[in-house]
Amino acid sequence: MQSKQLPLDENPTVEGRQITILNLYLTVLKFGGGKKVSQQNGWVHVAQALHFQPNQIPNAAQVLKGIYDRYLAMFEDAWQQNQMRSRQVMQQQQQQQQQQQQQAIARNMPPGGQMSPTKQMPPQVMQQSQQFLQQQQMMAQQLAQQQTATSAKMMSSMQQPAINGFSSQSPQVQSQHQAHGRNSLSRSLDTRTDVVPPQTGGPFPIPSPVSGIKPGNISISSPQVDATPATPAVSSEYNLPDDLVPKIRVLDTFGGVDVESLARLGSVLASNKPDIPPVHDLGVIDIHALTMSLQSGIPAEVRMALDTLVMLSAEPKIQLELKLCEDLVDTLVDCAEDQVDVLAESAAEVSDVMLINSYEDVLRGCRSEQEILQDIHPYASPEYELDRAVEKLIAITTIMRNLSFYETNHQLLADEAVIKFLCVVIRHLGTRNMLLRSHQNILDFMKDVIIFLSNLAQTIELPGREQALCLLHFLLAFAPCPSPNASSVVTFSPYDPAVHRYLPPALDSLAKLLARDEPNRTHYKMIFAADVSSTPPYDLLTKSFALAISPIPDDKQDAKRGSIGLLVEARKPILMQGMLAAEILSNLAPGFESGLAMSWLTSEDGFAQNLSRMVMSLVVEPPMQLSHQRSQPVPKGMEDEALLRITTGGIAVLHRLAEKCKDPEDPRSTIPLSGMPSEELLLGALEIRHPRMQGVLKQLCAYAGLAGLDT
């Protein structure tokens, strides 16, 4: 059609959905062709084979019939006519071959005509004739294979490419290609095996119509008429070179397999795989029915209910209020606990102490899993059931995370049963080996739970000390690595936004849990007080403080990215929560005898210098000068409350730690700190006429040991 400049739509649409004309042609061939389908009213079955349901798209059959009649009906008729002519030619050629074989046998008979029963054909002539026929058949098969390959290439070039660059052929089309190859073969073979008239000059008849035949060694060559007797061919050895240079080099495939095309095909198959329909196709959703499906425990019902709830909770246009859903939350928790029990029985317990892998280690494990092929376990095997249990558990945590974005659901999601369930999973995750079967599953669970805690931490009332400890270990898994106590000297690792993508919600959850009133504060006081017996002492308290101060701009690394003011402006939300958590933890730090506060202030990374430098930059550079970096600038004459809290919180942390470093028996003792603000810088900062900054400067002067400057 393109050669005749006729209009051709390679991907016509049916009700907005594209189809490929090659797939339509092959589907119609499976049902016997277009005429047979039209006679039997089978276009509805063709539409169903192409995944068009009659109840959804009733006119799909008529549209497909119109497309087929417009583009493919003439092609099918021409193809069938060509096949009929090919069969006729093939039959004629077969008849000619049979006649030629009979003539060859007749020439080998004695002059008397028909052989008598007592006189048989000589064995030598019989053997030569049989060998001639066998070798002729072998050559016919070889030429047929070559012609079939050539015909297949020509047909593949004429066909329209299917999805992802692949073209498929039905068995009928392939047989037609082979028939064309045999027809062409017969014509080419006849030209090579024409019978040469026997020579009459000799006293004996020639035993074979083809020259060059010897007893026991028959070879086929092109016919030649020559009066001279045939001379045997001299065999010459063909010496192969040492290095064989291939004539065809395939550099864009892997062992002849086009991996890129297969990858595209796999992505298309994955995207078109039947799964849960979108929300707008679900119709009326009965929450009570979904709850009963979860309580039934039937695998198909549970999966259908979880898939529907995941789609429903992720739809931004629909807000699912849990207070109107009866006991949906309790049912979700019960279903998740059943999955956790199954997984805990199959995972070996490796430690009594909770050791949760850090976020960075889990991320590296996910990358290593992506580089190797994963095993697909057989259906109904124990491993298959465990994989499905993990999927159900992660689906439930995903549903809870999506529902936690609505404030009306906070009270029900922060229920004691939900918190205890999450803490049980976290405890198993830290004491058992690969509870969730893979690092990718662990990462999905960690991301769901950390967002859930960040949304609900201000509402959560911890049931007990055990739950408080589980949540603390889970939050510390998102802290930067290595641990501050990894070496003999305390070193706080900085925050890298490109790596620690979930540190902001972890830090937000820590600040909210610590700042919450009773009983949360009492639980954490007891946990940090009992941490004195750990090795090294107060390890949990130091790790928590490291998480709180990690967003502070580093003088060595973050200074290259821009000014301190711009970095503080970009990290303002997490810095505010970090200073709040650091201030609470500095108040919980022990006194001078433990030496903990001194180890924090004299850390290897220079935490105290970085914090004092940030505070001084915010004091010297008023917050209003940074308003041009915001989408909504602060009005003139007003201060940025968030930056003010960061400044006051930062100097409060330094001042509190400095007080705990002093020896109570020697009030005049000083702290040997480096990087302190100079006296000239402090005098210049005192000239700033911000009333609220005056209190910050007084604390900064007291921290620097220059308490007389404020007078």
Q: Over the stretch 44-87, which tens digit does the pLDDT of each residue have?
A: 888 888 888 877 788 888 888 888 888 888 888 888 888 888 88
> 178 with 282, same domain?
no
- Model pLDDT, residue 363: 95
Residue 101 sits in the same domain as residue 50: no
Phi first, then psi, for residue 257 (nearest 5°) are -105, 125
For the segment 221-232, the average pLDDT, to the nearest whole number, is 44
pLDDT tens for residues 87-102? 888 888 888 877 777 7
Per-residue CA distances from 498 to 360, 480, 495, 501, 503 (Å):
12, 12, 9, 6, 11
Q: Are 67 and 79 members of one domain?
A: no
Confidence of residue 138 (pLDDT cuts 50, 70, 90): confident
Average pLDDT over residues 395-415: 95
Residue 208 is assigned to a structural domain of this protein: no
Lowest pLDDT segment from 153-157, 197-201, 577-581:
197-201
Give the chain's radius of gyration (CA, Å): 43
Per the prediction, the chain carries an average pLDDT of: 78
295 is in which domain, residue-wise? 277-477
The verdict on 311 and 414 lying in the same domain is yes
Residue 263 falls inside a structural domain: no
Degrees to nearest 5, angle at CA 578 with 601 and 428: 100
Q: Which of 267-276, 388-397, 630-639 has the lowest mean pLDDT?
A: 630-639
Count the domains in the chain.
4
* 424 & 534 share domain: no
Q: Residue 333 and residue 375: Cα distance in Å, rounded?
A: 30
Within 8 A by CB and 6+ apart from 208, the residues are 104, 128, 132, 218
Same domain, 290 and 312: yes
Same domain for 283 and 418, yes or no, is yes
Least confident of 123-137, 234-248, 565-579, 651-665: 123-137
Mean pLDDT within 568-597 = 91
Residues 466/423, Cβ–Cβ less than 8 Å? yes
Shared-domain flag, residues 430 and 305: yes
Burial (Cβ within 10 Å: 0-12, 13-18, ≥19) of residue 240? exposed
In-domain check, residue 184: yes
Could you tell me if residue 370 is inside a domain?
Answer: yes
Q: Is residue 243 part of a domain?
A: no
Banded pLDDT at 247 (limits 50, 70, 90): low
Residues 392 and 407 grouped into a single domain? yes
CB 431 within 8 A of CB 349: yes
State which amino acid sits at residue 302. Answer: V
Answer whether residue 203 is part of any domain.
Answer: no
DSSP-based three-state secondary structure for 432: strand
Give the whole-number percent of the chain exceeding pLDDT 90. 35
Identify the pLDDT of residue 32. 86
Provide the pLDDT for residue 441.
96
| Mean pLDDT value across residues 233-253 | 64
Higher pLDDT, 593 or 235: 593
Q: What are phi and psi of 217, to 5 degrees?
A: -145, 90
Query: What pLDDT was estimated at residue 302?
Result: 96
pLDDT of residue 591: 86
Q: How many CB atoms within 10 Å of residue 20? A: 18
- Please check whether residue 276 is in contact with residue 308, taking contact to mean a CB–CB distance below 8 angstroms: yes
Considering the domain architecture, whether residues 98 and 58 belong to the same structural domain is answered as: no
Residue 561 lies in a domain: yes
Q: Residues 287, 291, 293, CA angle at the centre, nearest 5°?
A: 115
Backbone torsions φ then ψ of 146, nearest 5 degrees: -65, -45
Residue among 59, 82, 63, 54 at smallest CA distance from 19? 63
Same-domain pairing of 441 and 575: no
Tell me, yes or no, whether 58 lies in a domain.
yes
% of the chain surpassing 70 pLDDT: 69
Note the pLDDT tens digit of each residue in 170-226: 444 444 444 444 444 344 434 443 433 444 444 334 344 333 334 344 343 344 444
- Which of these, 581, 575, 552, lies nearest to 644 by C-alpha position? 575
Structure tokens at 45: 């079955």
Are 287 and 425 members of one domain?
yes
